Amino acid sequence: MITFLPELQGRHVRLEPLQRRHAAGLAGASAADPSLYRWSPVPQGVPAAAEYVEAAISQREAGTAVPFAVVRIADGEVIGSTRFWDLVRWPWPPGHPRHGLGAPDVCEIGHTWLGSTAIRTAANTEMKRLMLGYAFEVWQAASVCLHTDARNERSRRAMERIGARFEGILRAHRLATDGLPRDSARYSVTAAEWPGVQRRLDGLLAQRGAAAPAKDAPVPGADAEAPAR
């Protein structure tokens, strides 16, 4: 069964389906250091966070996104947000195992931001481990892409660090936070590359003392009825 309300559990963070109750926590997480979000549209204040959550829930109800609140397990604090979005389902012919399945064939991980207390911790690495694992092992996706403002060197380094492959620059791709068309740096991971990226992420987490999921074990929080490809 395909669900758009998965909860993904790690050792450092838990990705909870984004709900209205998370708005105050998001506002608190972003308030600590707004200067971090020069390149990212991050809500400031409870009213903006509430609007942010409503827009994300609308996308989920439309079947175009799977948004999460990022919760730090040590203290239960909301420390940021991320989501699967730009979910694309290919027109598989009748009789194919994926025809009518409902799971996306390709998707993007984006709208990712963390509060200042989570910067330079295991949080982002574990988030990507959980989400990529879910996309490839549960949805059986063919590829997952990530975009960032081409000027955002910190984000680009983070994508390269986890093993995502740089594909190029998409010119005037999206609206930037400064109100101008931005060039986007595009990165991706394919299903064939996932085992190597998984080992890389597990190694990074091991260096930080976060035990990775056992090899061949289900992704924590993943659906038990994962479709075979």
3-class DSSP assignment, residue 155: helix
> Does 33 fall in a domain?
yes
Name residues of the chain where pLDDT drops below 70: 1, 210-229
Rounded Cα–Cα distance for residues 159 and 142 (Å):
18
Rounded Cα–Cα distance for residues 87 and 196 (Å):
24
- Residue 23's pLDDT is 98
Other beta carbons within 10 Å of 144: 27
> Does 34 fall in a domain?
yes
Running DSSP on this structure, what letter comes out for residue 114?
Answer: E
Task: Tell me the CATH number at 86.
Answer: 3.40.630.30
> Does 190 fall in a domain?
yes
> Does 122 fall in a domain?
yes
Domain containing 57 equals 8-207
> Does 199 fall in a domain?
yes
> Does 218 fall in a domain?
no
Which pairs with CB-CB distance under 8 Å and at least 24 residues apart come from 53-58? 53/18, 53/19, 53/20, 53/22, 53/23, 53/26, 54/20, 56/18, 56/81, 56/83, 56/111, 57/18, 57/19, 57/20
Other beta carbons within 10 Å of 163: 19
pLDDT in tens, 208-217: 875 444 443 3
- Residue 215's pLDDT is 40
pTM given for the model: 0.89
How many domains would you assign to the chain? 1
> Does 135 fall in a domain?
yes
> Does 69 fall in a domain?
yes
**Which tokens hold the place of 149?**
């403002």
Which among 172, 30, 51, 218 is positioned nearest to 112, based on CA atoms? 30
- Residue 1's pLDDT is 59
- Residue 121's pLDDT is 93
Q: Please give the single-letter amino acid code of residue 208.
A: R
pLDDT in tens, 52-73: 999 999 999 999 999 999 999 9
- Residue 40's pLDDT is 87
Rounded Cα–Cα distance for residues 67 and 18 (Å):
6
- Residue 226's pLDDT is 30
